[in-house]
Structure 1
Amino acid sequence: MEFATGALGTLLPKLGQLLQDEYNLQKGVKKDIQFVRKELESMHAALRDVGEVPQEQLKEVIRIWARDVRELSYDMEDIVDTFLVRVQGSEPPSKRSVKRFVKKMTSIVSNAKTRHDIGQEIKDIKERVKDVAERRDRYKVDAITPTKTSVDPRITALYTKAASLVGIDKPREELISMLTKEDGGESSVEERIVSIVGFGGLGKTTLARAVYDKIKQQYNCTAFVSVSRDPDIIKILKDLLYELDRNEYMGIHNTALGQHHLTDLVQEFLKNKRYLIVIDDIWDTKPWEMIRCALPENGKKSGVLTTTRITDVAEHVGGCYRMKLLTQESSKILFYGRIFGSIDKCPPQFSDVSENLLKKCGGVPLAIVTTSSLLANKSRNVNEWQDVCDSIGSGLRNNPGMDSMRKILLLSYYDLTPQLKTCLLYLSIFPEDYQINKQRLIERWIAEGFVQQGDGRQSLHEIGQSYFNELLNRSLIQPADMDDDEMNPFSCQVHDMVLDLICSLSRDECFAATLNGDCKEITSSLGSKARRLSIYNTTWPTINMSTLRSLTICSYALINSMPPLSSFYLLRVLDLEDCNLSDHSSIEFVGKLLHMRYLSLAGTGYAGDIPREIGKLLFLQSFRFDGTDIKVVPLSFFGLRQLMSLRVGDSTRLPTTSGLRNLSSLELLQINVDSTYIAEQLGYLTQLRALMVMLIKDKEGRWDESMCRVLVRC
C-alpha cells in the first residue's frame, strides 16, 4: 500500500484471488469484479503519476479525484477483507461428528448469504468506479506531469555573507584541514575528495561556500556547480567549464557538444592545474561518477568538495564529513542577532517564547534564519510571537514566512520512492519529540500494508528494515537509543521541521488524524471516514469509528473513556502501548476485530485475561503484551498461524501443550520458559530470526539443567 494510491496496491491481488473457483461466486459477480479490477489497475498507474507531482502544481479537481479514488480503494478492500474473513472461518474442526455437521451446515448457509452480500456491494462499487473513471477522462488526469522548479530554493545560501555566519568557524577549519593536510608519501600529492552530508536546511551549501571562499586563492582554477535532484549532466559539465574560465567558455551553453566531448574539454583544461571544485547537492552516485571522469588525478594536490543529503552517496564519494546541528549558544546568537542585533538585547518578556521557538528550530540554521526573519518583520508583540510559535507546530504551509524551509524539505520528500513517502508520512501519527521504537514501527508498517513482498528473497521485516535504513540514510529521521557499538539504532526521532512537513502533507490528503493534548486537531480535518487516528489527550472526538483502520493512543490518554472495541470493526492496528489499562473491559471485545494485524498492550499493566476469542484473529501478525500482568493465554491463541512477532509479559506462562509449534510463522519471539517441554517446542519454529528467552527458576531457585540443554540445541 502506498500513500498516493490508497489501498490499490494490496486490493488488486485480492480481487484476483476472489476470481478463483474456490470462492464459488456467481458468474455475474465475477464479471463485475473483472470490470472493477481492470479499471482500478489503470487508476493505480494514474495515481502513481499524480503522486509524483508536487501538491502545489495540482489543480483542486485532480486532488479531489485522487482522494476519491483512494477512498474507493479503502472501501473496496474493507468489503473484500470482510468477505474473506467470513468465508474462511476461524473455528477449528470439531472432533464430534454431530457438532461438525451442524457447524458445516451453519457455515454453508452463512457463506451463501456472505456471497450474496458481496455481490450486491460490488455492484455498488462498480457504479462508483464508473464515475471516477469518467471524471479521470474529463479531467485529463493521464496528461499530468510535474514541472521543474524555476528557482532553486537553496540559492540564497550561495550569497550569505561570511560575516553573518554563526557556528561555522570550526567545521570550516576542519574541512580545510581535510582538503589540504599533508599525510606524507605519494598520496600527499593526489587530489583530496571530501563530502559534506546532512539533511536539508542544515547549512551544507553555506559551509561549502565558506570553505571555497577562504581557500580558493591557493588554487590555479576553481568552480562551484550544483547538481540537483534531476541532473542534466551536459549542463553540469558546461557550468563547470564556464566557472573554470568564463572568458574562454563564455558561449559554451549555446553549443551542442555531447557529454564525451565536454568531459574531454574539462580534463584537458585541468590536466596541468591545481584545482578546487565544489559539486553541490548530489542525490545519486551516477552523476557523480560521470563528473568524476572529468576530474584528472594530476598530482597537483587538487581538492574536490561535495555536498549531499544521502549518507550512502557521501560514503561512495569519499571523505565523509557529517554536518552537525548548531549548539544552543550558536542558535541564540543567530536568532537574537537577526532580530535584536545581539544576544544580550532580547527583552526579558520575549525570553520564554524565544526559547520555545529555538526548540522548534532544533539547531537547524535555515529554520532559525527563516523564523527570525519572519519575526523581524513583525511588531515586538509577545502574543504575535506566540502565534508564530504555535503555527510552526501546525504545519509549515500555515506560515507563508516558512516557505523556503518547506521547499527545502519537499526536495527530499519528492525524491523518495512511493513506498518511502508512505512510510515517512506514517510518522506523523507520533507526538513531537517522541522516540519511536524501530521494531514497533516496522511491524506497524507491515500491518498497514505499506511493506509488500518482493521477489521472495527478503522477508517483510527485512524489507521494512531497508525502508527504515533508507530514511536514516536520507537524514529524514534521526537515530536514537543506539546499541553498544553505536552502529545500530533501536529507535528514531523526527526533527520538528520534518514533522511539521509530514503533518501538513498528511492533513492535506486525509492520510491520518492526530489530536494533541488540547484536543486540537493538528493533521487532518476529521471527516466521516477517518482511517488512521492517533490521540494523546483525554477527550475522544465525536467521529464515526467504524471506518478506522489504525488507532494509536499514547501514554497520557484516559483509556477508560475509550469507546467499546466493538465500535472499531475494521481496525487493523490497535496500539495502546504505555496506556493504563485499569480494568478488564478495555479489551473484552478484541476478539471481534477480525481484521486485526497489529495489537499492542505493551507497558499497560493489564492484569486481566486474554479473551478466548483472540483465536478468531486469523490475520494477526504482531501481538505484544510485554509489560503486563497477564498470567496465562487461552489455547485458542495457538491458532494464530500468521503471527510473525510475539512478546509476552514476565508474568505470563504458556500452557504445556504442543500448541506453540503451530505458530510456525514466528520470526521474533520474547517468551518465558519454565519447562523442558516448552523449550523443546522452540525447535519447531524454523523462521525465527530473534529469540529472547527468560528462564524461570524452580521453587528452590535453581535452573532446570535439562531445560538449559534443550535451549542450547535450539
Structure 2
Amino acid sequence: MAETALGMATTLVGSALSVASSAAREEMGLLLGVQDDIWFISDELKMMQAFLRAADGARENTGVLKAYLELIRDLAYDIEDCLEEFMVFIKHKNLVQQLLSLRARHRIAVQIRILKQRVQEVSQRNLRYNAIKLTPSTSSNVTGDMELSRNFTALNVDEAQLVGLDEPKKKLMELIAKSKAPMEHTETDNAGPRVVSLVGMGGIGKTALTKKVYDSKDIREMFSTRAWITVSQSFDQMELFKEMILQLFGAESWDRLLKDHQGQVPEVHLADYLSRRLKETRYLIVLDDVWTIDAWNRIKITFQDGGKDDSCVVVTTRNGKLAEYCSPPSNIHHPEFLGKEEATTLFLKKTNKSLDDLEKDKNTKGIVEKILNKCGGLPLAILTIGGLLANKDTKEWKSIYRQLPWDLATNPSLDSLRRVVSLSYSHLPSHLKPCFLHLSIFPEDFEIEKKHLVNRWVAEGFVADDSTTRTLEEVSENYFYELISRCMIQPSKLDNLGNVKTCRIHDIVHDIAVSISRQENYAAIPGGDTSTMSRRISIRHLSYFASKKLDLVVTGKGASKKKSKAFSKAVEKLSSLRSFSVGTNEIDKVDEMDLLVSFAFPLPSLERLKLKGRLEEIPAWVGKSVNLVKIDLQYCKLKDLKALATEPPNLMQLRLYEDAYSADKLEFDRHEFPNLRFLHLQLGYTAALREVTFVESSTPNMERIRIENSKLASGINGVKHLRKLKELYIWSCTLAKHDILREDVNKHTNRPALQILDCNHTSPEESEVKVEVTESISEPGESSQS
C-alpha cells in the first residue's frame, strides 16, 4: 500500500540525510574528490524529504506513487549503506593509508558518483511519470477503501453469531443511562453531555457492542433523539454535520435549512444550528471510529453546551489518549478479548460445527485449538477465519491453518480482517511506522522487554531528537507508550510502580506486521522455505527462531542439513543486513546453534547481533563483521571472551544474560575491547562467575557498567583503570570487597555515578549484610545520569 511505502520512505530519507550531512563535512571527501557529490546528495535528500511531507496529503495516484516511493526507499537504504561504509573507512586508523591508494580512491569515488546519478534519475522520474501532483487532499483512495470495508464489516455482523456480549452490554447501558455526576467532566470538556468512550484494537468488537446497545428497546425508549455517525479518519465535516441533522431532526429540517440559505449552508451555520437544537432535547449520539483529538474537537462544538436530561455521546476509538481526553476514567470502557469458552462457541457457530463434532475428531479439535490461539480472542479474527473454514472439509483445516500468516496478506476471504488491522497501521504517524514494523522481527507470542525494545529503536535511528532536554531513550519510551495508547501493542507485565515492563503483540497483528515488513524489504522471518531469501538481497533485518514446535532448519531429520546449507547461503547474500537475531528453545543442545558456526561470511553491514542458545565458542565470522557494534548473548555457556577481545573492532555494547558465560572469572586484559562503552552482566545467581576484573589499559572507552543478579564473591576489581567511566550500577548481587570498590569510585578522576541497590556485602570476617547505597559522586551542581 502507498501509505506503508510513504511511512518507510520518510523515515529512511531522514536517516540517510543525517548520514550524508556528516559525510559531507569530512575532509577526506575533499581529498577523494567526492565532497561536492556528497553535498549534492545531501541537498537532494532534503528536497525528497520535503516532497514526502507534501505527498502525505496527496495520494491519488496510489499505484504510481507506491512504485516511486519504493525507489526512494531503496535509494535511501543504499545511500546510508555506502556513506556509512565511507565513514567507517576514513575513521579507521589502519585503513587511512589504504584509502590514499589509487584503487581505493577510485572505488569509493565511483560508488558515490553512481549514487549521485541515481539520485538525479529518481528526482527526474517524478517529472517524467507524474508520480504525484502535490495538491492538498483530505483522504486517499486506499484509506477510504479501507474505512468503507471496516465500516461495512463492523456494522453488518449477524447478531445471532455474537457471543460474550451480555455483561459488556449491561455495563455499557449503565454508563449511558446513569445520571451525570456534578463533577463529572474532564479538563477540556466540562459543560457538555456525558461522554462514554469505548477503546480497543480494531476487530475487538467496539462497534458491534455499541450497535447492539444502540438498537436495544431500552435505549430507544430512553432517547427519542438519536444518531449513529461513522466518523473515520477521512471524514468531511460538512457532510458529517449534514448527516447529524438528518438523523437527529429529519429531512424536513435539512430542507428548511437549504431553503433559508438559498441552497448553500455555511459550515458554521450547521454547527450553530445543531448546537441550538440539541440544547432543547435529550439525545444520544454515537461517534463511531474517531481517530484523533483534533477530530473530536471539530465535532464536539455541536454539543459542547449540553442537552436536556442527561444527554449522552458515545465514542468508539482505537486511541487511548483520545478516550482519556474526552471522558473521565469512570466512563471509559475497554472491551475484552473473548475467553476460551466464548471463542470456541463463536467459532463453532461460524463454522456450523458442534462440540460433539470436535470430540468425535481429536485431530480437528487440536487444529481448532491452534486456530483459536492464533485468533487470541479477537472476535473479528474468529468470525473471518471461521467463515473461511465453514465451506471447507475439516481435513483441509490443518493446511489452511499453516497458511494463515501468508493468506492474511493475499487471500480475498480474509480481506476484511486484513483491512481492519492494517487501517491502524496506515493511520500511525510516520515516526511510529518503522517502530511498529520492527516488532515483526520478534517471534510470535513473544514477551518483549520495553527497555530492550526502546533501545533497539534508538540504535536503528528511528528516534529523532525532539529539541528538548529529553534523552533519545526517553523519546523512544514515549513512542512505546504511544503504540500502547493506539492499541498496537499490549502491556504484559508491570513493575511495582505500575510502569510497563514487557509487552506483547497480538498474533494477527504480528502476522500483518510481518507481511508489511516483507513488502518493504524491512525484515525477513524465514519459515520452512529459506531458498527464496537469496533472491531478496535488500532485506535489512533477519530474525531466525529455531524450535521443535516450529520445525525449522536445525530440528528436522533428514532434510535439516540441506535446509541449514540453503539458509546459510541465503544469509551470506544479505549484504545490507543490519540486525541478526537467532534463538532456540532447546537451550541445552549445542547442535541447535550449529548452523551459526557453519556460516562462511562476515556480513559487511551487520551492526547488531543476538545469539540465544548453547554455543561454547563464538563463531569466527562474528569477529570479522567490522561494523558490528552491539552483541547480546544468552544461554551460550562461553568459557571465555577472547574471540571478541579485539574483533569486531567497533564493538561498543556487550550484554551477557542467563548462562551466557560459564567461567568463574571474567577478566578484561590489556588492549582488549578497545571501543567497548557499555557492559551489561545479568548471568544469574547459579552462574559460576565470582569475579570481574579490569586490567590496566583494558576497555579504554568504557563508560557504563551494569551488573545484576550475580554472586560476585571475589568482587569487582580494577574500576580505577576505566578512565572514561561515567556510571556503575549494581543491583541484587552478592558483592565482596564493597568498601574497596566504593573507595576506587570515590578516588576516580572522572567522578562516575555509583548505584548499589539490594545487594548483600560479604567479607572473610563477616556474614552477609544487606547493603543499599545510591551515590552520585559528582561535583556540586552537577547531575549524574543513572
Q: Tell me the TM-score normalised to structure 2 length.
A: 0.79
Instruction: Give 1:163 shift.
Output: 3.6
Distance 1:532 1:172, change over 3 A: same
Alpha-carbon distance, 1:264 to partner: 1.8
Q: CA deviation at 1:528?
A: 2.9
Aligned to 1:149: 144
Counterpart residue identity of residue 379, structure 1: K
Given the alignment of the two structures, is residue 527 of structure 1 paired with residue 526 of structure 2, yes or no? no
Question: Which of the numbers 253, 258, 261 marks the counterpart of 1:249?
Answer: 253
**Cα offset, 1:436, TM superposition:** 1.2
Give the letter aligned to residue 554 of structure 1. Answer: G
Give RMSD over aligned pairs: 3.6
Distance 2:613 2:438 in 1: 21
- Alignment of 1:658 with 2:720, yes or no, is yes
**Residues 281-338 of structure 1 deviation map (CA, whole Å, 9 limit, x = unaligned):** 1111122223333223245122221111011111111121111011111112211112
Q: 1:647 and 1:451 mapped to 2: Cα distance? A: 26
Q: By how many angstroms is 1:403 displaced? A: 0.4
Structure 1 186/648 Cα, relative in aligned 2: closer, same or farther at 3 Å? closer
Residue matched to 1:262: 270
Instruction: Give the one of 578, 597, 606 matched to 1:571.
Output: 606
Name the aligned partner's letter for residue 275 of structure 2.
Q
SS of 1:26's partner is helix
Contact 1:196 1:307 survives alignment (8 Å): yes
What are the within-5 Å matches in structure 2 for residues 331-370 of structure 1? 331-340=343-352, 343-344=355-356, 348-349=360-361, 350-370=364-384
Q: Report the counterpart of residue 216 of structure 1 in structure 2.
A: 220
2:98 aligned residue (107, 110, 124): 110
Among candidates 595, 607, 614, match of residue 561 of structure 1: 595
Inter-partner Cα distance in structure 1 for 2:600 and 2:754: 33
Distance 2:657 2:73 in 1: 33
Q: Would you say the 8 A contact 2:754–2:776 is kept in 1?
A: no
Q: Pick from 379, 395, 398: which aligns with 2:392?
A: 379
**C-alpha displacement of 1:19:** 2.7
2:181 & 2:579 partners in 1: Cα distance? Answer: 60
Change beyond 3 A, Cα 1:657–1:156: closer
- Cα distance 1:687–1:416, how it changes in 2: closer, same or farther (>3 A)? farther
Aligned twin of 2:762: 697
Code of the aligned partner of 2:20? L
Establish whether residue 175 from structure 1 lines up as the match of residue 172 from structure 2. yes
SS of corresponding position for 1:287: helix
Q: What's the CA shift for 1:425?
A: 0.8
Residues 287 and 51 (structure 1), Cα distance of their counterparts in 2 relative to 1, 3 Å cut: closer
Any stretches of 5+ residues in structure 2 without a counterpart?
A: 1-5, 186-190, 547-553, 555-563, 587-591, 695-717, 779-786
Name the aligned partner's letter for residue 532 of structure 1: H
Q: For the residues of structure 1 that align with 2:544 and 2:467, how far apart are their CA atoms?
A: 37
Q: Is the 8 A contact 2:580 2:608 kept in 1?
A: yes
CA contact (8 A) 1:638 1:659 kept: no
The alpha carbon displacement at 1:575 in A equals: 1.2
Picking from 263, 275, 285, the partner of 1:277 is 285
Counterpart CA distance in 1 for 2:774 and 2:576 is 47
Residues in 2 aligned to 1:17 and 1:460: alpha-carbon distance in whole angstroms:
19
Q: For residues 141 and 372 of structure 1, do their structure 2 counterparts lie closer, same or farther at Cα, with a shift above 3 Å needed?
A: same
Distance, in Å, in 1 between the alignment partners of 2:774 and 2:401 is 59
The equivalences for 1:293-312 within 5 A come to: 293-295=301-303, 296-298=305-307, 300-312=309-321
Structure 1: 5+ residue stretches without partners: 91-105
Measured in 2, the distance between the counterparts of 1:190 and 1:132 equals 53
Q: Which amino acid is the alignment partner of residue 512 of structure 1?
A: A
- Matched residues, number: 686
Partners of 1:398 and 1:87 lie apart in 2 by 46
1:99 matched to which residue of 2?
none
1:316 aligns with one of 325, 343, 364: 325
The 3-state SS of whatever aligns with 1:552 is: strand
The alignment partner of 1:109 has SS state of: helix
Would the aligned equivalents of 2:34 and 2:109 in 1 still touch at CA under 8 Å? yes
* 1:238-287 superposed Cα distances (whole Å, 9 cap, x missing partner): 22111102233344897533343222211221213211111111111122
CA distance 1:498–1:681, shift in 2 (3 Å): farther
SS of residue matched to 2:341: helix
SS at match of 1:632: strand
Letter of the 1:698 partner, please give it.
Answer: S
Greater strand percent: which structure?
2
CA distance in 2: counterparts of 1:477 and 1:326, whole angstroms: 17
Question: Which residue of 1 is the match for residue 117 of structure 2?
Answer: 127
Shift of 1:226: 1.6
Aligned to 2:448: 436
Q: 1:76/1:711 Cα in 2 relative to 1: closer, same or farther (>3 Å)? A: same
In 1: Cα distance, 2:623 partner to 2:393 partner: 58
Q: Which residue of 1 aligns with 2:239?
A: 235
Q: 1:414 aligns with which of 426, 431, 452?
A: 426
String of CA shifts for 1:364-413, please: whole Å, max 9, x gaps: 1111111122222x232422x22321222225122211101111112211
8 Å CA contact retained: 1:371, 1:402: yes
Look up the SS of the partner of 1:461 in the other structure: helix
Q: Which structure is higher in RCO with an 8 Å CA cutoff and minimum separation 6?
A: 1
Is the counterpart of residue 551 in structure 1 residue 580 in structure 2? Answer: yes
Contact kept, 8 Å, 2:346 with 2:383, in 1: the verdict is yes
**Distance in 1 separating the partners of 2:34 and 2:294:** 50
Q: 2-side partners of 1:309 and 1:667: how far apart?
A: 41
Change (3 A) 1:52 1:663: farther
- Following superposition, the deviation at residue 497 of structure 1 comes to 1.2
Per the alignment, residue 13 of structure 1 pairs with 18
The CA distance in 1 between the partners of 2:436 and 2:610, in whole Å, is 18
User: Which of 594, 597, 600 is matched with 2:629 structurally?
Assistant: 597
Q: Who is 2:338 aligned against?
A: 326
> What residue in structure 2 maps to residue 460 of structure 1?
472
Letter in 2 for 1:174: K
Q: Which whole-Å CA distance do the structure 2 matches of 1:116 and 1:703 have between them?
A: 65
Asked whether the equivalents of residues 755 and 775 of structure 2 are also in contact (C-alpha less than 8 Å), the reply is no
| CA distance 1:292–1:443, change in 2 (3 Å) | same
